[in-house]
Amino acid sequence: MDTELGEVQKIFANIIWESEPVSSGELVRICEEKLSWKKSTTYTVLRKLCEKGLFQNQDGIVTSLISKEDFFAAKSEKFVEETFHGSLPSFIAAFISHKKLTSEEAKEIQSMIDTFKEG
């Protein structure tokens, strides 16, 4: 699955995730209303996102192959892998080095660590 999306593709993907399952005709109508797109533009962008493995258009019904949450989790994992050689501690250190954590944020992060810790 390709996690690289342009800004327009992100907007379009969100429309699908919010509307699915949606008929391709209804999707064209939504995109005309929200984005001022022509039918051909909607189908072109849909085809590209289907090729990336995010959505499918079967018998005129558009659905996702991956949830929005799973897509952004995969995108985050790829970012950490490429930028920090897969080191989650390095990512966290870089993220919080320019921002003070509130007490609530620190508690929430610690709770997440406790929940997902091996052992």
Can you give 54-66 as a three-state secondary structure string?
CEEEECCEEEECC
Give the pLDDT score at 69.
96
Pick the CATH number of 7-68 from 3.10.290.10, 1.10.10.10, 3.90.1150.10, 1.10.1060.10: 1.10.10.10
Give the pLDDT score at 18.
97
Give the pLDDT score at 117.
83
Give the pLDDT score at 67.
97
Give the pLDDT score at 119.
60
Per-residue pLDDT of the chain (119 residues; tens, 9 = 90+): 788 999 999 999 999 999 999 999 999 999 999 999 999 999 999 999 999 999 999 999 999 999 999 999 999 999 999 999 999 899 988 988 888 889 999 899 899 889 988 76
Give the pLDDT score at 118.
73
Residue 27 has which token pair? 């999707």
Residues 114, 27: Cα–Cα separation, whole Å: 42
Q: What are the domain boundaries of the chain?
A: 7-68, 87-116
Instruction: Describe the chain by its helix, strand, coil percentages, rounded to 5.
Output: 65, 10, 25
